[in-house]
Structure 1
Amino acid sequence: MDLTMLRPRSIPRRARTSMRHAAVASLISLLMGFMGLSFPILTTFAEGPDIVREQSALIAAGRDPLPAGSIAVVRADGDCLRVRSEANLTSTPLACVPTGSTATILPATRDADGYRWQLVSASGFTGWVADVYLALSSGTTSPSSGGASGPSAVSSSAGAAACVNSIASVKPGLNTSLSPVGLNLVLWGGGTMNALATATEAQGCRITAIYANRPGGGSLVSYLVGVPDFVNAEWQSVFAGGRIPAGTALMLICGATGTQAVVSVPTPASAVPAPRKIGLKPAPLVSAAAIAIIDGDSGALLYDKNATTPRPPASLTKIATAILAVEGTELSSGVTVDVDGPRMAARDGSSVMGLRPGDCYSMADLLYGLMLPSGNDAAIAIAKYEAGSEAAFVKQMNTLVRRMGLTGTMFTDPHGLGSPQHRSTAYDLAMMARYGMTLPQFREVVGAPLRTTSGSRSIPLYNTNALLRRYPGVDGVKTGFTEEAGRTIVVSAVRNGHRVFVALLNDQNRDDSAVSLLDWVFQNHQW
């Protein structure tokens, strides 16, 4: 029996948040503005007394919320109490804690679905419980009365609370299904124009025009696809840096996928000439099954060995996952996960960040967990958060590479353990890395040798790319390994202001091979 599922019919649903009210009103205003309507909108959302009446109907213990840091005992009348991933009745149950068990109270409280919820740590999980089923342990000294908990507990509680409080009110992405042709209204979850184009095209919509309310209100601002830049100068001024904030109401005009020109992913300028090979010295012989060396400025292929032959990429897959995460989410947002990293590692040997169900970390922490220790658990958590499911996220991954004009890649998961159909090429992976390194946040992550998380637990994350410490000028990007793929790597290095990318697939000596090829390309090419 799930005690928190008991909800008397007489208790009304909690009033929606004012932010959601504003977003819906903004969508209506957006549509009316496009249609040339100017009369005022009268919203029917409850305010004031209605909200007070609903709050008074909460099922809550006849006391104030238990203080953070205190120990509570579950009082569930002989049954168990569900610990949930979010503070509502429809979120994922993480555990069912038996009557008599203890829980540590964390500093976060919310009202939802007729209950008052408190964030707790219980039975190895961090999540939300209805506090009516909690009682302060008789042996506990409240922190407010002078008691103290251990340093690790304080650190964990503070980190978890800060993370939970930073959970975004608007989920990433489009927050709706699209019609592939015609007008669509969406509430954008935040991200770049490129992320918006990838998300819409993954649903079969090629954007031909975008209309948005100006931040703070006012008239509409438009973006038209396929026109000279000066036509969209106003849009670029309003949304400086190319990012559209979370919660922005957008009206999209879509054309069918088959009838519109492909929208290319912006890449570094290719107008610069490719470096010229000097001398007759050939590239060193290395053991890689496939090699691609790319000039960062021009995108020219400087050396090729089976560079366009599809092969298993292993964790180099995560380059695409990271690009979508950087462009399609707010990295400061908190994310509560339902992934069990230790169980994944025990089941299939996954490399993991160390996530546990109910953990809360920022998207930035998850991104570091993805790219430094190559966490498959972080890849799944990012995919579910950004797209709602792994399948939907993989569809966006394949849309991204197609928009980049890369034809040798097919992804079936966000991490690279892979199915027989999961393939990429050395050339495609080098070009993905080339694009990723144009994104400052991507560049910062892949160049970091170490990161310590600040969410539910402090987890030290170490970068598997040994060349960051070994080869001067190396500043990213990713390593990988599976039995099928062998050892793989894409490495970025800069010398005298010129960047090159070396991608190696199935090379047992990948680090030594990369060093030899980097030496050769820098010594035998002139920019």
Structure 2
Amino acid sequence: MFFIMIIILSITYTDSYANSAHSAIVMDVKTGRILYSKNISAKKPMASTTKIMTALLALEYGDLEAFVKVDKNAVGVEGSSIYLKYDEEVKLKDLVYGLMLRSGNDSAAAIAYHISGSIEEFSNLMNKRAKEIGANNTNFKNPHGLHHKDHYTTAYDLALITRQALLNEDFNKIVRTKRWISEREGYNTFYNKNKTLNQFKGGDGVKTGYTRAAGRCLVTSATRNGMQIISVVLNDPNWFNDCYFLMEEAFREYSPEKVITRNNDIKSFRINNGKVERSYMIAKEDIVIPVKEEEKDKIYIVFECNETYEAPVRKGQKLGKAKIYIGDRLIGTTELFAKENIEKRKLIDIIKNFFSK
């Protein structure tokens, strides 16, 4: 994925976005653009929404088809459970589905022991990954979200983590699943607890969370017309309705605008000593940004690249970047690549060309 958000946009609150959440945010997945924010930097416990990071690390560090031998310390973890047994062998895939659909705390622990060998080491890995994502006001002490005074995040950080997870195709597929039948014996059918899939048009999941200390925490996502957004609410007694309302308002106020089409000619460049004198750069993905109606005529692209390159140039060679702006606000950046192979001219061709002139 080449398109990244690199600026936080401030949003003016309106009564139409009123909600009961202590913290809330709406973010576009593709660009990371913030479409709504409320108290997004306040550090708060996040209960089982913690498992978004746990699932992401399972996908990044594990093999979904590998069998996991359940550690004794992953058995009987308090709270939501998929009823793992000591020394039971379960596919990592089934553990991740049990984690995200049924919110299994034992599944979270089993994943942690499998990936890192201990809860403490897995928590360190979670924190390392959080910093890489830019979630600098987050601290994990466990993989499941059971209360710990030093286990916290912010609405903004949790949106960043969720965005990174949703850019993973396997994660996207898992959280959209309504029912999963695992290969294990016994308790093997997991139904998704997240009502977003059934109640909201275009709903993608993502994760519910509740503890007495954290209150009701919810991360939802929905996709309409090629635009996927995230809504996060922390400590919100009206969690589902508020997330639905925030997303509905975002879809009403913003629409997807395709500014770059993948594999289309985007920027021309000259080639020194090449068999052709000019070629084009392309992007490897569509770039779609969320815009308000009044912003559409303010979109422009700035290219950071050379005008001339020396042959040979290889297809797929990275040549530069395109930066997308709305007015003076940088929305994101995508990398540009050579469209084709351009071979270097042979000396005899250069001599012939010289004399022909």
TM-score, normalization by structure 2: 0.67
Q: Which among 302, 316, 322 is matched to residue 35 of structure 2? A: 302
> What CA deviation, in whole Å up to 9, does each residue of 1:258-309 have, x standing for no partner?
xxxxxxxxx66137999999x9964421111100111122211221111111
Q: CA deviation at 1:500?
A: 0.9
Q: Is the 8 A contact 2:165 2:172 kept in 1?
A: yes
- SS of equivalent residue, structure 2 residue 237: coil
Cα distance in 2 for partners of 1:493, 1:275 equals: 21
Matched residues, number: 256
Q: Which amino acid aligns with 1:519?
A: E
> What CA deviation, in whole Å up to 9, does each residue of 1:141-171 have, x standing for no partner?
xxxxxxxxxxxxxxxxxxxxxxxxxxxxxxx
Cα distance in 2 for partners of 1:276, 1:288 equals: 19
Q: Which among 138, 141, 149 is matched to residue 412 of structure 1? A: 141
Larger Rg: 1
Is 1:382 the counterpart of 2:111 in the alignment? yes
Q: Which among 4, 7, 23 is matched to residue 290 of structure 1? A: 23
Q: CA deviation at 1:497?
A: 0.9
- SS of equivalent residue, structure 1 residue 331: coil
Q: Which among 56, 63, 67 is matched to residue 334 of structure 1? A: 67
- The residue that corresponds to 2:47 in the other structure is 314
Residues 303, 388 of structure 1: alpha-carbon distance in 2 compared, 3 angstrom cutoff: same
Structure 2's unaligned 5+ residue stretches are 256-290, 292-357
Q: Is the 8 A contact 1:268 1:298 kept in 2?
A: no
Cα distance in 1 for partners of 2:113, 2:89 equals: 14
Cα distance in 2 for partners of 1:498, 1:276 equals: 20
Is 1:398 the counterpart of 2:132 in the alignment? no
- SS of equivalent residue, structure 1 residue 464: coil
> What CA deviation, in whole Å up to 9, does each residue of 1:321-347 have, x standing for no partner?
1110001011000112134777334xx
Q: Is the 8 A contact 2:155 2:233 kept in 1?
A: yes
Q: CA deviation at 1:419?
A: 1.0
Cα distance in 1 for partners of 2:161, 2:236 equals: 20
Query: After the TM superposition, which residues 450-489 of structure 1 pair with which residues of structure 2 at under 5 Å, given as runs?
Result: 450-489=179-218
Residues 363, 280 of structure 1: alpha-carbon distance in 2 compared, 3 angstrom cutoff: closer
Q: Is the 8 A contact 2:96 2:107 kept in 1?
A: yes
Query: After the TM superposition, which residues 26-45 of structure 1 pair with which residues of structure 2 at under 5 Å, given as runs?
Result: none
- The residue that corresponds to 2:284 in the other structure is none
* Identity across matched positions, percent: 35
Q: Which among 224, 227, 230 is matched to residue 498 of structure 1? A: 227
Cα distance in 2 for partners of 1:283, 1:434 equals: 25
Residues 273, 417 of structure 1: alpha-carbon distance in 2 compared, 3 angstrom cutoff: closer
Residues 411, 468 of structure 1: alpha-carbon distance in 2 compared, 3 angstrom cutoff: same
Does 1 or 2 have the higher relative contact order (CA < 8 Å, sep 6+)? 2
Q: Is the 8 A contact 1:295 1:301 kept in 2?
A: yes
Q: Is the 8 A contact 1:268 1:297 kept in 2?
A: no
> What CA deviation, in whole Å up to 9, does each residue of 1:385-437 have, x standing for no partner?
11111111111000000111211100001100031010001111111111101
Cα distance in 1 for partners of 2:39, 2:167 equals: 26
- SS of equivalent residue, structure 1 residue 351: coil
Is 1:512 the counterpart of 2:246 in the alignment? no
Q: Which amino acid aligns with 2:108?
A: A
RMSD: 2.4
Structure 1's unaligned 5+ residue stretches are 1-266
Cα distance in 1 for partners of 2:21, 2:2 equals: 27
